[in-house]
Amino acid sequence: MQHQFPTLDTAAYDLAQQQRHKVLRNTYWLLALSMLPTVLGAWIGVQTGITAGLRGGVGLVVFLVGAFGFIYAIEKFKHSAVGVVVLLAFTFFMGLMLSRLIGMVLGFKNGSELVMTAFAGTAGVFVVMASLATVIKRDLSGLGKWLFVGVLVLLVGSVINLFVGSTAGMLAISTAAIGLFSVYMLYDIKQVLDGGETNYISATLALYLDVYNVFQNLLALLGIFGGERD
């Protein structure tokens, strides 16, 4: 009777797969944890109205400076526990920045339902993309540069529309953003599964931004189309 022993290549592959799934598991746990500061920040923002004055260009500058400052710090400390603390502080900041939109939507008669619908819709998108990432065998790393270009185009369009104030433009940008960041979810999860991203803090940051943008733009669309006034 012959005994088959795993070859070095097979053992190395299995070890790599275990490591990738560990990174993904830690990423999902930290992503779930990051929702707590986000909710807290949004609640404080709604209750205090602290972000009410951040309109137009001022709001955009505060958001961009704060967000990119945090992202730089997270990447700098991503190999230590400090990176987790900075990431959670960043998600609190993002919750504060989201509070103005949430407060506006909650002003509708059915505001709470719209927020929950946006949350459920975002969760549904995440589940679908996470499931697709596990069954798609094709390497999607080439998508990265195209997705990044898409984000730049959206950012430029958002800045222009900020001054133009076009409702149609906002609808187009929000719809495109939901599609773009949904695909980004698939890409970022696949990067972890394929070994392209090995740091769970960086992976969490990427996925958090995907989830945040899908939720924000979905909530904006629901507020425009589904908001019921008293």
H or E segment to which residue 108 belongs:
none
pTM, full prediction: 0.88
Q: Give pLDDT, residue 6.
A: 53
pLDDT digits (tens, 9 = 90+) for 41-75: 999 999 888 777 666 667 778 888 898 999 999 99
Q: Give pLDDT, residue 55.
A: 66
Tell me how far CA of residue 181 lies from CA of 45, 51, 52, 111, in angstroms. Answer: 25, 25, 27, 24
Tokens at residue 225, please?
């189309």
In angstroms, the CA 175 to CA 173 distance is 6
Q: Give pLDDT, residue 115.
A: 92
Side-chain-side CA neighbours of 100 within 13 Å: the count stands at: 13
Cβ atoms 145, 116 nearer than 8 A: no
Q: Give pLDDT, residue 57.
A: 65
Q: What are phi and psi of 137, to 5 degrees?
A: -90, -20
Q: pLDDT tier at 1 (50, 70, 90 boundaries)? A: very low
Mean pLDDT of the chain: 87
Q: Give pLDDT, residue 8.
A: 54
Angle separating helix axes 81-106 and 111-135, nearest 10 degrees:
140
How large is the average pLDDT for residues 89-104?
93
Q: pLDDT tier at 79 (50, 70, 90 boundaries)? A: very high
Q: Give pLDDT, residue 69.
A: 94
In the chain, pLDDT over 90 holds for what percent of residues? 56
In angstroms, the CA 163 to CA 62 distance is 16
pLDDT digits (tens, 9 = 90+) for 108-158: 888 899 999 999 999 999 999 999 998 988 888 888 899 999 999 998 888
Tell me how far CA of residue 206 lies from CA of 53, 74, 170, in angstroms. Answer: 28, 11, 24
Residue boundaries of the structural domains of the chain: 8-226
How large is the average pLDDT for residues 33-45?
95
Tokens at residue 105, please?
């939507």
Report the candidate in 24, 58, 42 with the shortest Cα–Cα distance to residue 203: 24
- Say which residue the tokens 């290549």 belong to: 9
219 or 51: which leads in pLDDT? 219
Q: Give pLDDT, residue 228.
A: 67
Tell me how far CA of residue 73 lies from CA of 11, 77, 88, 188, in angstroms. Answer: 36, 6, 12, 20
Determine which of 12-16, 19-23, 111-115, 212-216 has the lowest per-residue pLDDT on average: 12-16
Report the candidate in 175, 186, 187, 183 with the shortest Cα–Cα distance to residue 216: 175
